[in-house]
Amino acid sequence: MNALITLMILSGSALMVYNIYGFLRFAKYVRSMDNWGTNNAILYFPIALLVMFLLGYLIVGLFGKPDLIVAGILFGGSIFVFVMYKMLMEVTERVVEGEKLQSELRSAQESERMKSSFLATISHEMRTPLNVILGLDDLALKNTELPAETRDYLLKIGLSAKHLLSLINNMLDMKRIEDGSLTTKSEPFSLGEAMDQICAITEAQCDDKGLAFVRELYSDVRCTAIGDEAMIEQVLLTILDNAVKYTDPGGMVRFTAKKDPEKEGYFRFETEDNGVGIDKAFLPKVFDSFTKEDSSSTSRYGGSGLSLAVARRMAQAMGAEILVESEKNKGSIFTVVIPLKTAELSELAADQAAEEVSLEGRRVLLVEDIPANAEIVMDLLGLEGVTCEHAENGKIGAGMFASHPQGYYDAIFMDLRMPVMDGLECTRTIREMNRPDAKQIPIIALTANSFDTDVKQTREAGMNVHLAKPADADLLYNTLKRMISEHPQKGNTDD
């Protein structure tokens, strides 16, 4: 029995020495934390108690006559302190790990915010000069007396600028896809006219490269569909653009559009080429971001390896799918199957009414701080007989609107980023004016800010439509016609 008592006291003493060492390590660990203050005394208070506890062990063991109960209490105390020390270390480490994870999450969120801010800024800064390049190029091409060589140069400048714009759009679209902000619209549009436009763009690309373009538009696409026209066009044009890009001169690109014979409520769009084709082993990766089958093709054909990835994600957002068949050196077939509801032709009445609107003699207010951008828009509108008055910032724009009688302006084109007063504040100022046309006049955002958050902000401020720079001339005219048709201004229109 005495041997057991002695063993328990010696074991308890040894365990208490370990406990004291452990609490010393714990105190050092806590002191190393950045958020620990200068009051360190509290960390060493339990260590002093444990030292006194150990001395008690030694005194009892050396000078006392402990029985089994006393030895058990002393040994149990050491075990209790050991367990508490281990629990304290575990809890502290978990709290520190949690704080570390929270810190990393905050850093990641801040990094994402900075990335979004950077993308928004760089998008705006790149779109602004592109707007000037494409605008001046468009204006120059309207000159019917241009020498053929000069016209060819201008066409190539325009194609290069549009290619750069497509790269910017792909990066922004991928950002929207990654952060879950990609949304689809459900609006009536003429599917046949959309196909005609797609074919016209592709045919021009084929002519420039020396390719034969074959279109097969079945009669059942001559209907009014309900969906996201812009997204459908972007997906199909991306695939057609790749077909043109990877088909050598003398080749052929065929585009077929029809109702899907196997799926009710679906339309089938097929792009076939006899270009370089894709190796079967690479087919599963063809829609991956930044992937190319052969790095040497980058220098030969160009491309970032991003457009098909964006197209597929957009197709998925619409409930569509993209299928691909290909054979190396023989060509490829990309098939897009999209679910689309059809509507009565009467649902296009607004668009048809807009087509009948004449822009001749209309007057608009352009609020734009960059003179080159303002000049291009004014020249483009001037070609259609529109009188365009210019305000250099939002404060001047709001003042010009307020200083003229009701119905003086048919519409307002509004930039977003401007000094003194930005476009959002200018729009809110106009909408809050105590006059009927302030609530009714169409305000069209014409800006290089093209993120979904920018579109949301323009709508919340009271703008009717959001156009991203550089705006196509036809899109500019058609949007203005539609807005005038939907929001006719009544009142004094005399100068």
* Residue ranges in 339-435 assigned as alpha helix (H): 349-355, 371-382, 394-403, 423-431
- Indicate whether 200 and 332 sit together in one domain: yes
- 157: in domain: no
- Indicate whether 285 and 379 sit together in one domain: no
- Indicate whether 211 and 332 sit together in one domain: yes
Total structural domains within the chain: 3
- 463: in domain: yes
Strand ordering across the sheet containing 212-217 = 212-217, 252-259, 266-273, 331-339, 321-327
pLDDT values of the chain reduced to their tens digit, one per residue, 495 residues: 577 777 777 787 788 787 787 778 777 777 776 666 566 666 667 777 777 777 777 777 666 676 677 677 777 777 887 887 788 777 777 877 877 788 777 777 777 667 666 766 776 677 778 877 888 888 888 888 888 889 888 888 887 787 677 777 766 766 666 666 667 778 888 898 889 888 888 888 898 889 999 999 998 898 889 888 888 988 998 899 899 989 999 999 999 999 998 889 999 999 999 999 988 888 888 887 656 555 444 444 454 456 788 888 889 989 999 999 999 989 999 999 999 988 754 444 555 555 567 899 999 999 999 898 899 899 889 989 999 999 999 999 999 999 999 999 999 999 998 999 999 999 999 999 999 899 999 999 988 766 667 778 888 999 998 887 777 787 888 889 888 888 887 654 444
pTM over 0.85: no
- Indicate whether 375 and 228 sit together in one domain: no
Q: 192 is in which domain, residue-wise?
A: 187-343
- 491: in domain: no
- 393: in domain: yes
- 77: in domain: yes
- We report the CATH number of the domain holding residue 410 as 3.40.50.2300
- 99: in domain: yes
For 152, the token pair is 């060819």
- We report the CATH number of the domain holding residue 314 as 3.30.565.10
Tell me: cis bond preceding 470? Omega within 30 of 0 counts: yes
- Indicate whether 251 and 321 sit together in one domain: yes
- Indicate whether 193 and 310 sit together in one domain: yes
- Indicate whether 363 and 305 sit together in one domain: no
- 232: in domain: yes
Looking at 109, 136, 157, the residue that finishes a domain is 109
Burial of 343 by CB count in 10 Å (0-12 exposed, 13-18 middle, 19+ buried)?
middle
- The Cα–Cα gap between 367 and 369 comes to 7
Strand ordering across the sheet containing 224-227 = 187-190, 224-227, 341-343
